[in-house]
Amino acid sequence: MSERTFVMIKPDAFSRRLIGRIMTRYESKGLKLVGMKLQVMSRQLAEQHYAEHRDQPYYGDLVNFITSGPSVAMVWEGPNAVEIARAINGATNSVEAKPGTIRGDWGLTLPRNVVHASDSLDTAKREIDLFFDEANLLSYAMPDEGWLCVKM
Ligand SMILES: Nc1ncnc2c1ncn2[C@@H]1O[C@H](COP(=O)(O)OP(=O)(O)O)[C@@H](O)[C@H]1O
Ligand SMILES: [Mg+2]
């Protein structure tokens, strides 16, 4: 079943000029980009996005980091998109992230771990609503999605 998930390229990756290579991972897997926004997040937006972490000792550093420069907010669509995007990102802690995942290849420390992706369908809905107006998300079919199996 097709899902939508929220993905963000964090400021550390932006400053390291990695956004093209990172987007290629989701795109070449077969997910479909249906929304994208480049912005420097406000503190208010960052605090809402990371509300569940507000009691953690790293929260202040996390909010400072995520608002420190441009980030790329995206919505990717496809079968099992939530789980697929998390698998492409790899483990939160880059020490544990497997080579071949985004964090395994480019992450080094916390909280600067390159990317974000929603952890469930409910979270995805909440995060997509926080960053995007529905009117700015596209619904479309790729040219190859209309192919039929031709019987010879
Ligand atoms: N122990 C930690 N120390 C510093 N930053 C952390 C720590 N745990 C998580 N973070 C930061 O907070 C973000 C959100 O954490 P979490 O939701 O647990 O991970 P994920 O991004 O994999 O969903 C992480 O991606 C990371 O940037
Ligand atoms: Mg999370």
Q: CATH number, domain at 28?
A: 3.30.70.141
Residue 49 known to be catalytic: no
Whether residue 143 is contained in a domain is answered as no
Q: Measure Cα distances from 98 to 10, 29, 105, 106, 143 in Å.
A: 19, 17, 8, 11, 33
Write the residue with the smallest CA distance to atom 12 of ligand 1. Answer: 111
- Provide the number of structural domains found in the chain: 1
Q: pLDDT class for 145, splitting at 50, 70, 90?
A: confident
Residues measured by CB to lie within 5 Å of ligand 2, the ion = 119
Q: Measure Cα distances from 133 to 37, 78, 129 in Å.
A: 11, 19, 7
Helix (H) or strand (E) holding 5: strand 2-9
> pTM to 2 decimals?
0.96
Q: pLDDT class for 97, splitting at 50, 70, 90?
A: very high
For ligand 1, is residue 62 a contact (CB within 6 Å)? yes
Atom of ligand 1 nearest to the CA of 112: 27
Whether residue 98 is contained in a domain is answered as yes
Query: What is the pLDDT at residue 149?
Result: 67
- Is residue 23 predicted with pLDDT exceeding 70? yes
Q: What is the pLDDT of residues 39-90, one digit of tens each?
A: 999 999 999 999 999 999 999 999 999 999 999 999 999 999 999 999 999 9
What distance in Å separates the CA atoms of residue 7 and residue 128, rounded to the nearest whole number?
9
Residue 74, CB-side half-sphere exposure with 13 Å CA sphere: 24
Whether residue 103 is contained in a domain is answered as yes
Whether residue 53 is contained in a domain is answered as yes
Which residues span the domain enclosing 60?
2-133
Whether residue 89 is contained in a domain is answered as yes
For a pLDDT cut of 70, what percent of the chain falls above it? Answer: 97
For ligand 1, is residue 123 a contact (CB within 6 Å)? no
Whether residue 94 is contained in a domain is answered as yes
Q: Measure Cα distances from 152 to 126, 145, 146, 148, 149 in Å.
A: 47, 20, 18, 12, 10
Query: What is the pLDDT at residue 146?
Result: 75
Atom of ligand 1 nearest to the CA of 89: 22
- Is residue 143 predicted with pLDDT exceeding 90? no
Atom of ligand 1 nearest to the CA of 92: 22
Q: Choosing from 10, 25, 32, 116, which is the catalytic residue?
A: 116
Whether residue 75 is contained in a domain is answered as yes
